[in-house]
Structure 1
Amino acid sequence: MSTPEHTSTPPVAKKVPTERTHHGDTFVDEYEWLRDKTNQEVIDYLEAQNLHTEAHTGQLAELSKTIFSEIKSRVKETDMSVPSRRGRYWYYSRTQEGKQYGIRCRCPISGEDDWTPPEIGDTVPGEEITLDTNVEAEGTDFFSLGAFSISDDGNWLVYGVDTVGDERYTLKFKDLRTGELLADEIPGTAGGAVWSLDAKHVFYPTVDDAWRPDTVWRHDIGAGTEDVKVFHEPDERYWVGIGTTHSDKYLMIGAGSKITSETYILDSADPTGEFRSITPRVEGIEYNVEHVILGGEDYFSFVHNELRDGAKLENFAVDIAPVSDPSARRPFIAHDPDVRIEDLDAFSDYLVLSYRAGGIPQLSIADLRTIEGFPTAADFRQVSFDQELYSVALAGNPEWVTPRLRIAYGSFLEPSELLELDVATGERTLLKRQPVLGGYDPADYVQSREWATAGDGTKIPLSVIRRKGVTGQAPLLLYGYGSYESSIDPAFSASRLSLLDRGVVVVFAHIRGGGELGRYWYENGKTLRKKNTFTDFVDAARYLIDTGWTTPDQMVAEGGSAGGLLMGAVANLAPELFHGILASVPFVDALNSILDPSLPLTVIEWDEWGDPLHDADVYEYMKSYTPYENVSAQPYPPILALASLHDTRVLFTEAAKWVARLQELSTSEHPILLKTEMSAGHGGVSGRYKQWEEASFELAWILRQTGAVTF
């Protein structure tokens, strides 16, 4: 199968040799000049690449429009979320047909015993709009809502606005009793903001010159005084965030690197007091904290991976300790090498354990009302489902005291469901199922688990989704990520149906570096084991070919961000296996970025990738795989790289440099394309219709490259 070509030739980037020398090695970077987006020549080059991409994808226009219509036709455009009770109100959001963004709303509860949410419908009695983001977004090319927090008394709203895409928000304050905005306005904040219980103070984080959240401030509402710095983290490896325990009894500041964490607490009744460390940090040890009431006594729970008997508990365990003496910890839930404990949530009457077993996220619940004495791990009961592949998690439970718990359930085939669980009886009530219009029937599709074998014998799980009746060598999309212990969990996608219904098999490769199979799965795909991530993906692709699922002429690979690094590495390792590679905001100039501590996030990333600036072994290892520097004269498949000009996580220059080098060195006739969003950030364009348009373009490109649609 051949890819339709166009007479357009790519713009040729000029070469400006720039030498980089570390550990006795010199690399000559001819495209480093593309880093400066204030240089008009750089902007002109990006726009020329966009025109080149348009020329090569013009034939996709009608298909893109068709797919957009398909996505739109499946979505209930005017819709409402299930209201969640908090204090004196039910809170929910609405979408309206024709509007890009959601509308945040609330209505009053009828009384203290009112735990039945108002019906989902076109109108709700007593409805009050707390924030219409469509109004906020007027006149902007990009809009993102950051913090959104309402004070416990329901009178005040603080929210953050980003109109550029750089994830730096301006905090605004609204009096919900009058609808008026306060003169208070705080630019340049990171995401998140937390109210004090007395609704007189807001705590929020800001960033340093490397865009690392490093400082927490207290803002006194309407006081006209300068904000108070309540915490600063000087270690450049650590991020800082602010939150509360679920009970609202404590404010919490979390400081964490990729491998170490520390929590500072302050009694919510004393918002102008001093935060104190609950347990001092120890290099390589992570923990998170929750407030738990057991037998009428206050405790802290610790989900941690501390050393026990000389070994670190890689999959984590749970301890508890009296609030009066956090150092007096004792084991609560033991470490299990086959179960990755992720969190322990606390309510007045329940404890909920979130964990991962067999690659699947799970929940177990202890009903404290039925337990005599002190609870143990044996008191937790799993919330189970019949599907082979599914996801389950807590969802929408803001109240500490609640008669029932809400959980979210979904799979690759089943639209997400919000369920209400009566813990005592086990009865589940469906509150809402994600509407999919157009007669969608999950029974028309199949999801299954396959296992590929890596070169070292490791079994790699694959999630395979297809329409019934699609067998043999079929068009196939292989997606991967494999970094930061992030897992690709089963979830429904309405847009994915446009691939499945055209006979494309969609496969998710759960490669090392992710978290699907526990902490060891992550540890064996990072730092000096990072190449396992790339070879796992290649071995997964070969498995799909060898077992007859597809052929190289029908397979497209896709990944974004750190998954874009995966795409770049795979393009160098095994270009012959794919007829297309889609790389979104790809981290393809990894070594150059991780060598520069002045760049956003670099120092923080050393725990993930290693520190090539100070460690010659790490430098040599990263240089052997970093995609940009390993582009060579070989026949690359068609490649589509997507970037965003204002992305602060993966700078646009990485994709720009990579594509310039690919276009220079590739020995094939296949087009190497770069599409840069000029008004967007790491997550791409904003607004649901714009996002559907972008998704439609990408899906059309995939369909062409897999041969599912011919031109």
Structure 2
Amino acid sequence: SRSTAEVRLFDAADIEAPPILVCGRRPGLDYTVEPAGDHLLIVHNANRPDFEVAIAAIRGSRPEEWTPILIPRPGERVVGIDAYRDFAVVSMRSGGQTQLRVMPRGAACNGAVAAGPTEWRQATPVPSEDLATIMHLPQSHWQTGEVVYMVESVLTPRTWVSYCPHTGESTVLKRLEVPNYDREDYAQQGVWVTADDGTDIPMTIAYRKDLEPDGSNPGLIYGYGSYEVSYDPWFAPINVSALQRGVVLAFAHVRGGGEMGRAWYDDGKLLKKKNTFTDFIACAKWLHSSGWVADQRLAAEGSSAGGLLMGAVANLAPDQFRAIHADVPFVDALTTILRPELPLTVGEWEEWGNPIDSPEIYEYMRSYSPTENVVEAEYPAVLATTSFNDIRVFYVEPTKWVQILRERSSNDPIARPILEQIEMAAGHGGKLGRYDRWDKQSFELAWILDQIGATE
């Protein structure tokens, strides 16, 4: 569940002792707990939707007893916390980007000092590059004096760094080696796109430095927008092949994800799910109107719930895309959510709603579920990839969708084919093993590059 939680603590020194229930489950109360010596650090949303950090005694307690020590500013979101003897590391989101902050204790201690608001000092950000994803790598030693983290971006290969809170010095421990790649050949920028309702949507774009926004470039836009999963920038070596061919890469951070906080997620779920789709279309239109991507040279890609996004935008704005790759796509959403006997359906009602009990939810889902809304028009070329043993999104969903597309679209089957590939021995994540993954990725990218005219 993403709306409620219940945490119990077990005493590692006395495994037969009954567990401590920190706080019983309450509707709408979501929290996590981090032991910090003789007290607890609790990240919770009892007072604000974007969470805060509080301290509490090691016993059962109520949110009213938790003392706040870090309250995020507007536009910030507390994600989690890891405590050590001399400091704690807070994982945050600020301005749509990931951030780490170090919160020192009042003095170097061994965890035996009294817990209180004055014990913890003001949190300060760990240095990081703009438009990058930074992730704390928890240490197993309570007495550690360093913060080890990983940082990467669309253009920066994954890099492991050690940061000393006492001196402020950072040391690169390791960087992913990428043969025949020079980061200085490429550029990236963050832009804000205005959605239909006036909301500003963040988008990250990357491109070869010699490209100009002259309306001639091919482009590839990615999106997800569900479950409060943030589509943060990451380095994928396969993207280098597209960048070298002059493809403009775009990552749309649409509502339904968690990029801008809990409200960003709430504005893209249940009866607001269509915001996810219209945000993505607005980003696609911006790529055309800004001159970064040529008309009929933009491809889109999304996986799982991102595949639902692909199916929805294909119906709503087929003219904006030359090709769409939908991987293990959740495109028969209404049919699946109407079947509570399936192992994952009931838990999904928090995200999509319960169309069995709510006529309003039923009609709303029916109005956007891809298989229910295919129109008679020319569609982008479509590649649907799935796996026979996928138990999250059954292969029958994309199979049904592809058949409906073939029946109703006016596509030339050669110029704009509608294709499906089914892996016969794989699950939701595709085949295991790096060689099989590389084979899958190279096939999908080759298909996209061919469709947008970027094979050279």
TM-score by length of 1: 0.61
Report how far residue 371 of structure 1 moved: 6.5
Structure 1 unmatched ranges of 5 or more:
1-256
Residues 1:522 and 2:265 are matched in the alignment: yes
Q: Do 2:21 and 2:59's aligned partners in 1 also have CA atoms closer than 8 Å?
A: no
Q: Secondary structure at the match of 1:449?
A: strand
Residues 1:287 and 2:31 are matched in the alignment: yes
- Aligned partner of 1:390 among 132, 141, 161: 132
Residue 508 of structure 1 aligns with an amino acid whose one-letter code is: F
Residue 512 of structure 1 aligns with an amino acid whose one-letter code is: R
- Look up the match of 1:101: none
Write out per-residue CA displacement over residues 315-357 of structure 1, whole angstroms, 9 at most, x where no aligned residue. Answer: 1111111114534422222243321000111112221111000
- Look up the match of 2:207: 466
Residues 1:349 and 2:89 are matched in the alignment: no
Distance in 2 separating the partners of 1:698 and 1:359: 29
Residue 694 of structure 1 aligns with an amino acid whose one-letter code is: K
Residues 1:580 and 2:323 are matched in the alignment: yes
- Aligned partner of 1:404 among 139, 142, 146: 146
Distance in 2 separating the partners of 1:614 and 1:502: 51
Residues 1:420 and 2:166 are matched in the alignment: no
Residue 326 of structure 1 aligns with an amino acid whose one-letter code is: S
Residues 1:662 and 2:397 are matched in the alignment: no
- Look up the match of 2:228: 485
Distance in 2 separating the partners of 1:274 and 1:371: 32
Q: Secondary structure at the match of 1:495?
A: helix
Report how far residue 376 of structure 1 moved: 6.1
Distance in 2 separating the partners of 1:585 and 1:419: 35
Q: Do 2:104 and 2:120's aligned partners in 1 also have CA atoms closer than 8 Å?
A: no
Distance in 1 separating the partners of 2:80 and 2:354: 29
Q: Secondary structure at the match of 2:237?
A: coil
Residues 1:303 and 2:58 are matched in the alignment: no
Report how far residue 276 of structure 1 moved: 4.2
Report how far residue 406 of structure 1 moved: 0.9
Residues 1:601 and 2:344 are matched in the alignment: yes
Write out per-residue CA displacement over residues 408-458 of structure 1, whole angstroms, 9 at most, x where no aligned residue. Answer: 1222211111111222111111110111122x2111100101121111111
- Look up the match of 1:453: 194
Which range is displaced more, 593-602 or 272-281? Answer: 272-281
Q: Do 1:332 and 1:376's aligned partners in 2 also have CA atoms closer than 8 Å?
A: no
Which range is displaced more, 554-563 or 344-353? Answer: 344-353
Distance in 2 separating the partners of 1:344 and 1:523: 23
Report how far residue 399 of structure 1 moved: 2.3
Q: Secondary structure at the match of 1:701?
A: helix
- Look up the match of 2:425: 679
Q: Do 2:105 and 2:121's aligned partners in 1 also have CA atoms closer than 8 Å?
A: no
Distance in 1 separating the partners of 2:162 and 2:389: 41
Distance in 2 separating the partners of 1:563 and 1:533: 10
- Aligned partner of 1:364 among 74, 84, 101: 101
- Look up the match of 2:49: 314
Residues 1:562 and 2:305 are matched in the alignment: yes
Distance in 2 separating the partners of 1:497 and 1:509: 19
Residues 1:336 and 2:76 are matched in the alignment: no
Q: Secondary structure at the match of 2:149?
A: strand
Which is greater in Rg?
1
Distance in 2 separating the partners of 1:647 and 1:555: 29
Write out per-residue CA displacement over residues 532-586 of structure 1, whole angstroms, 9 at most, x where no aligned residue. Answer: 0001111111111112111331000110000000000011101111110000000
Q: Secondary structure at the match of 2:296?
A: helix
Report how far residue 397 of structure 1 moved: 1.6
Q: Do 1:318 and 1:332's aligned partners in 2 also have CA atoms closer than 8 Å?
A: yes
Distance in 2 separating the partners of 1:643 and 1:415: 29
- Aligned partner of 1:619 among 335, 353, 362: 362
- Look up the match of 1:157: none
Instruction: Report matched runs for 1:174-193 at 5 Å.
Output: none
After superposition, the Cα gap between the structure-2 partners of 1:537 and 1:377, relative to the gap in structure 1 and judged at 3 Å, is farther
Distance in 1 separating the partners of 2:420 and 2:268: 28
Q: Do 2:221 and 2:250's aligned partners in 1 also have CA atoms closer than 8 Å?
A: yes
Q: Do 1:258 and 1:604's aligned partners in 2 also have CA atoms closer than 8 Å?
A: no
Which range is displaced more, 593-602 or 562-571? Answer: 593-602
After superposition, the Cα gap between the structure-2 partners of 1:666 and 1:365, relative to the gap in structure 1 and judged at 3 Å, is same
Q: Secondary structure at the match of 1:278?
A: strand
Q: Do 2:106 and 2:119's aligned partners in 1 also have CA atoms closer than 8 Å?
A: no
Residue 322 of structure 1 aligns with an amino acid whose one-letter code is: A
- Aligned partner of 1:641 among 373, 384, 388: 384
Report how far residue 529 of structure 1 moved: 0.3
Q: Do 2:329 and 2:397's aligned partners in 1 also have CA atoms closer than 8 Å?
A: yes
Matched positions, count: 443
Distance in 1 separating the partners of 2:66 and 2:259: 29
Runs of 4+ in 1 over 6 A off after TM superposition: none
Structure 2 unmatched ranges of 5 or more:
none
- Look up the match of 1:31: none
Residue 133 of structure 2 aligns with an amino acid whose one-letter code is: S
Q: Do 2:193 and 2:203's aligned partners in 1 also have CA atoms closer than 8 Å?
A: yes
Distance in 2 separating the partners of 1:376 and 1:582: 52
Distance in 2 separating the partners of 1:324 and 1:668: 64
- Look up the match of 2:241: 498
Instruction: Report matched runs for 1:131-146 at 5 Å.
Output: none
Q: Secondary structure at the match of 1:690?
A: helix
Report how far residue 269 of structure 1 moved: 2.3
Q: Secondary structure at the match of 2:6?
A: strand
- Look up the match of 1:270: 14
Identity of aligned residues (%): 45
- Look up the match of 1:652: 395
Q: Do 1:388 and 1:448's aligned partners in 2 also have CA atoms closer than 8 Å?
A: no
Q: Do 1:258 and 1:605's aligned partners in 2 also have CA atoms closer than 8 Å?
A: no
Answer 1 or 2: which has greater strand percent.
Answer: 1
Distance in 2 separating the partners of 1:556 and 1:285: 40
- Look up the match of 1:13: none
Report how far residue 515 of structure 1 moved: 0.9
After superposition, the Cα gap between the structure-2 partners of 1:325 and 1:618, relative to the gap in structure 1 and judged at 3 Å, is closer
- Aligned partner of 2:314 among 568, 571, 592: 571
- Look up the match of 1:693: 439
Report how far residue 400 of structure 1 moved: 2.3
Report how far residue 394 of structure 1 moved: 1.1
Q: Do 2:22 and 2:59's aligned partners in 1 also have CA atoms closer than 8 Å?
A: no
Report how far residue 401 of structure 1 moved: 2.5
Q: Do 2:23 and 2:60's aligned partners in 1 also have CA atoms closer than 8 Å?
A: no
After superposition, the Cα gap between the structure-2 partners of 1:694 and 1:477, relative to the gap in structure 1 and judged at 3 Å, is same
Q: Do 2:218 and 2:247's aligned partners in 1 also have CA atoms closer than 8 Å?
A: yes
TM-score by length of 2: 0.94
Residues 1:589 and 2:332 are matched in the alignment: yes
- Look up the match of 1:631: 374
Residue 26 of structure 2 aligns with an amino acid whose one-letter code is: V
Report how far residue 274 of structure 1 moved: 3.6
Write out per-residue CA displacement over residues 347-378 of structure 1, whole angstroms, 9 at most, x where no aligned residue. Answer: 12221111000111101112337379844665
